Structure 1
Amino acid sequence: MTRTEHLEATRILQHLFNASSFVGIDFGSGPNHHLLYFKRDGNESWLSIEGPWYVHSSGPSFNEDEQLHHLVGLRRERVRSVRLTEDNPNLELTFESGSVLFVNGYHEQYESWQAGDARPLGGEHFLLVAMPQGDLAVFAEDDV
């Protein structure tokens, strides 16, 4: 991902998630597949996670049941900041409590995560996809 692509993707992710509240979750077919919903001022966004993820909070736990408990505990909490790493599209959402949702952006063969602004899955104005081997696809109708 070029520096310009990274900056554009970061601006879009900030637009989608900063100051939004985590409002719901749907569970996918596999242990790492979850669809998270966010809302701010009547606007909705979503994050589909298909790869490894975890919530950094008070204790370092990587047990799936405990991680889901931490994630559900973030319900209705607002996102304070969004970070996209430059080397691979790893995504970090930091919440008001200081908890951080980390989503791995690299997989050899599969998409790790997707984010957008239309339900169910899709992007009305924005769609980002963490592609296999660390690439990031950005689809944007207008500049943020």
Structure 2
Amino acid sequence: MSTTEHEQATSILHHLFTASSFVGIDFGSGPNHHLLYFSRQGLESWISIEGPWHVHATQSTFDEGEQLEQLMRLRRERIHHVRLGDEHPHLELEFESGSLLFINGYQEHFECWQAGDARPLGGDAYLLVAMPQGELAVFADGDDE
């Protein structure tokens, strides 16, 4: 991903998620597929996770059930900081408690995550997709493509 793409994606992610609260989850077809919903002053955003993820917190484990419990403890908690990986689009959401949700951004053959601002899925003004091979697709209102 180019520096320009990284800067644009980081700006969009901050717009979508900084100071928003984690408000809900839908469970997908597999153990790593989840759809997370966020809200801030009437604005809704979402992240669809299709690959490995985990919550870093005190006494954190990598058992799926315990990780889901950790994630559910973050319900209604606000996001303090958003970070996008430099080389690959790994996504980190840091919550006010200090807990960190890490979403893997690299997979050889499949998309790892998508994020947008229209519910249930899609992008009204913004859609980001962590593509195979660590690429990132950014669709923003006003793009020529």
Same fold flag (TM > 0.5): yes
1:26-60 CA deviation, whole Å, 9 max, x = no partner? 00000000000000000000000000000000013
1:101-126 CA deviation, whole Å, 9 max, x = no partner? 00000000000000000011000000
Aligned to 2:105: 105
Gaps of 5+ in 2: none
Aligned to 2:27: 27
Aligned to 1:141: 141
Aligned to 2:126: 126
1:59 aligns to 2:59 (yes or no): yes
Q: How far apart in 2 are the matches of 1:100 and 1:127?
A: 22
Deviation (angstroms), 1:97 = 0.1
* CA gap 1:3/1:62 in 2 versus in 1, 3 angstroms: same
SS of residue paired to 1:31: coil
Aligned to 2:80: 80
Aligned to 1:114: 114
Root-mean-square deviation (Å):
0.9
Work out the number of aligned pairs and report it.
143
Amino acid at match of 1:52: P
Q: TM-score, normalised by structure 1?
A: 0.98
Gaps of 5+ in 1: none
Large movers: runs of 4+ above 6 Å: none
